[in-house]
Amino acid sequence: MNRRVLSVSLLLVPIVFGLLVSSPGKLYSQTAAPPNHFKCYATEGKPVDTTAAVSLRDQFDPAGTAGKETKVFKAIRFCNPVEKTTEDGVVTHIADPLLHLTLYLKAPTDLAPTRRVTVKNQFGRQRLNVYSPIILAVPTQKNDELPSNNKDHYKCYSASGRSLNRAVRLEDQFIAAPARVLRPRLFCNPTEKRHGDVTTPIQNPKNHLLCYTMETTDFSAEARAANQFEDELLTLAKPDLLCVPTEKLRVTLAP
């Protein structure tokens, strides 16, 4: 998938429907894990050969779209844990160097309402417009590294908000380089995933991610990604998303 198609996908406009309400406590197991920042590289994986559809339940959709299932297509981003240094010298180290994420396009199985979401992270407090879920982020083992104990998946919604235009330095397992962080594009809730007979619960319900577009240096490499969907050698191109651990403060429906 080329960059233009991804940009269109991330800016899909949803149709409003009724908000589902349920007790979220049943979704979670009890585990504590510090969150990573993630630097996401463009890629184009092969279509995922799944033997069963995927059912997702998160804090915006605790009923799992009334029992509907969704099809996962193919990998479009591969995300390394990354160390971030801000302009004023604040360094956020990698919490879990074994935890990587693969971002998969998912089929639009539901009509989501536009939400107004207030969040806070290391870039400050921000208001977002959050639309339809379009990405499933899957914890992934890279090359011959050991797998992480963190099994949280994320259901990522297209989002918009003000541009940060903030300079940072990012150092991951591939490269260290300056970058400029721009606009929000994805807001990600931890999600329970049911794939066939296997259910992966939410371990860390407070760990959300806000992914921003960014400008940085060109890059190319290969990495083998192994997760619950596939074991595939991915060709990686220029990184264009920075996903930042984020606290969700308030959610309302748009009028």
> pTM (2 decimals)?
0.86
Residue-wise pLDDT for 202-248, tens only, equals 999 999 999 999 999 999 999 999 999 999 999 999 999 999 999 99
Q: What's the pLDDT score for residue 33?
A: 59
Q: Which two tokens stand for residue 151?
A: 């099994």
Does a structural domain hold residue 24? no
For residue 149, is pLDDT > 60? yes
Does a structural domain hold residue 180? yes
Asked which of 82-86, 166-170, 193-197 is least confident by mean pLDDT, the reply is 193-197
* pLDDT average, residue stretch 178-185: 98
Domain of residue 249, residue span: 3-16+31-253
Residue-wise pLDDT for 74-102, tens only, equals 999 999 999 999 999 999 999 999 999 99
Helix or strand run (H / E) with residue 232: strand 231-236
Q: What's the pLDDT score for residue 197?
A: 84
Does a structural domain hold residue 126? yes
For the chain, give the percent of residues with pLDDT over 90: 71
Residues facing residue 176 across a β-bridge = 171
Distance CA 164, CA 25 (A): 34
Does a structural domain hold residue 26? no
pLDDT band for position 15 (50/70/90)? Answer: very low
Distance CA 98, CA 75 (A): 19
Q: What's the pLDDT score for residue 98?
A: 96
Q: What's the number of domains the chain is made of?
A: 1
Does a structural domain hold residue 129? yes
Which amino acid, 243?
C
For residue 10, is pLDDT > 70? no
Q: What's the pLDDT score for residue 52?
A: 61
pLDDT band for position 157 (50/70/90)? Answer: very high
Does a structural domain hold residue 149? yes
